[in-house]
Amino acid sequence: MKKKKNSLIISAIILTIALFCAIFKVDINGYLDEISANLNNTSNIKTIKSTSSDKEVVELVKCVDGDTATFKIDGKNKKVRFLGIDTPESVHPYKEVEEYGKDASEYTCNILKNANLLELSYEENLSKTDKYGRILAWVFADNELVQEKLLKIGYAQVKYIYAKYSKLDTLYKAQNEAKTNKLGIWYDYEEPTYKDKTYTVTFKVANKEEKVTVKEGELVDIIDNPTKSGYVFSGWTYSNEPYDLSKPIKKNIKVKADFTKK
């Protein structure tokens, strides 16, 4: 009986406001939305809209660790590996829990669980999965790049760069910030010193080669991702293994372009 009485009172209030707005030509929509939210205790729920049409909205299924999670994508549960970063191990079947591993895992899980909007985006013209069948993606929580947040706080490092990814500058900027402030895994970081040597990195695509000279200890400037009709570029390989271009150069190397059929 009490609920029915409250409902009648609320209806009377809304009707009175509607008449007032009609007489004085006031926009009613905003008022009604705010009143409805307050009456239903939902005024603190944020409505987040995507900032890009290139992102895919997903639903969190399960947290795994700092750089991996399972999402519902197109109605199917799929494991996603966060592109371009690596966090300390916390659930590896063969490795011990590493320092900051649990911190990174909890930090990522809190971000994903508390987000109102979760989205993925992918690197154009690159393979969408790794050799384990995991989806490789940029992960966004309420329009913020999760990889960048992990790097800024020192719970991740830039790693597994096999191509010229679109967000590399953002990743390295965030990592350098954590290094400078000695945050997380960089608490005892000291800038390494190298001898004044230079090395040559040779990028090979089919029968064509392009050589880049790099100072010892520095990163190579990755050339544009090559294309091949009917194939998707998977990344650069060295000795038939994916070559991580986020590693400082310490010797002459030749890397080859690897392609997979579309």
| pLDDT higher at 61 or 227 | 61
**Does the pLDDT of residue 46 top 60, yes or no?**
no
Q: What is the pLDDT of residues 194-215, one digit of tens each?
A: 888 999 999 999 889 999 999 9
- At residue 95 the predicted structure's pLDDT band, cuts being 50, 70 and 90, is low
pLDDT of residue 37: 43
Hey, what domains does the chain have and what are their CATH numbers?
2-39 (no CATH), 56-186 (2.40.50.90), 198-261 (2.60.40.4270)
pLDDT of residue 32: 42
Angle of helix 28-39 versus helix 2-24 axis, rounded to 10:
160
pLDDT of residue 18: 56
- At residue 262 the predicted structure's pLDDT band, cuts being 50, 70 and 90, is confident
Token pair belonging to 134 = 């995991």
DSSP 116: S
- What distance in Å separates the CA atoms of residue 161 and residue 143, rounded to the nearest whole number? 23
Given a contact cutoff of 8 angstroms between Cβ atoms, the answer to whether 155 and 105 are in contact is no
Catalytic residue, candidates 89, 119, 123, 148: 89
Catalytic residue, candidates 81, 119, 123, 148: 81
Once rounded to an integer, what is the mean pLDDT over residues 25-30? Answer: 48
Contacts of 117 (CB under 8 A, 6+ apart): 48, 49, 50, 57, 140, 141, 142, 143
Once rounded to an integer, what is the mean pLDDT over residues 31-50? Answer: 51
Q: What is the pTM of this model?
A: 0.78
**Collapsed DSSP state (helix, strand, coil) of residue 174:** helix
> What is the distance, to the nearest Å, from the Cα of residue 92 to the centroid of all Cα atoms in its chain?
21
Residue the block writes with tokens 């004044």: 196
Catalytic residue, candidates 106, 134, 177, 216: 134
**Of 151, 150, 141, 149, residue with least CA distance to 120:** 141
Identity of the highest mean pLDDT range in 34-48, 142-156, 183-197 = 142-156
- Residue 134 annotated in active site: yes
Helix residue ranges per DSSP H, 54-210? 101-114, 146-152, 168-180
- Residue 99 annotated in active site: no
pLDDT of residue 48: 76
